[in-house]
Amino acid sequence: GLIGNIYSMGLAMQALESAGRFYAPRQWDCSQALSVVSEHHFQLPTAIAQLLPALVGRTYLEAGSLECSSVTRTSRSLQPSLAASAAAPIKVQFSIINQLQGKHFSFSTDVQVPAGSTLLEVMEAAAEEDPTVYSFQTEQTSWGIMVVSIHGLAGNAKDRTYWRFLSGSDALQEGVGLYKPRDGEHIQAVFSTY
């Protein structure tokens, strides 16, 4: 499975590889690592760039000594292929919750979107239905789209606040631009501290 989440797995794999002298050595199995990685949606260039050294059994620190002739190439993609077909609609419950600052609130709505839609598309559909409640703002980062404000309440580095996204009680392992909710899933955006 994942070590941490898609944002930390590449670096965690590199750390384990470079610390190999501290645990029992074993043969590197690139196909096993690739099968674990390909189960997840690594679409962000930064996440993929951090994974690639570990997939060839090297770290960034060892990249200068890599001999390309000794590395076999594969044409296998890290992201799954998507069928270009019309998707049936799914229903997602989306909630926004602030029990932390200012006037507390908790709103929930059911949104219908095509199957395969991202959480960002769910949020856009909720904002379209009721912009006074579900409006939000995003920023583009090197790790993808980050939600910075919902319902006029913005995260703040000084206060160490941000919007945390959960499915049930579990934190999402992907960002809003990549995560694809399932039919009947309940997604919560909870104003939190770190």
Name residues whose C-beta falls within 8 Å of residue 33's C-beta, 6 or more positions apart in sequence: 13, 54, 55
Question: Taking a C-beta distance cutoff of 8 angstroms, is the pair 4, 16 a contact?
Answer: no
Question: Taking a C-beta distance cutoff of 8 angstroms, is the pair 45, 36 a contact?
Answer: no
> If you search the block for the tokens 């990249």, which residue do you land on?
63
Task: Determine whether the annotation assigns residue 50 to a binding site.
Answer: yes
Residue 156, beta-bridge partner list: 161
Task: Determine whether the annotation assigns residue 44 to a binding site.
Answer: no
Q: Which residues fall in the annotated binding site for cyanocob(III)alamin?
A: 5, 50, 172, 194
Q: Which residues fall in the annotated binding site?
A: 5, 50, 172, 194
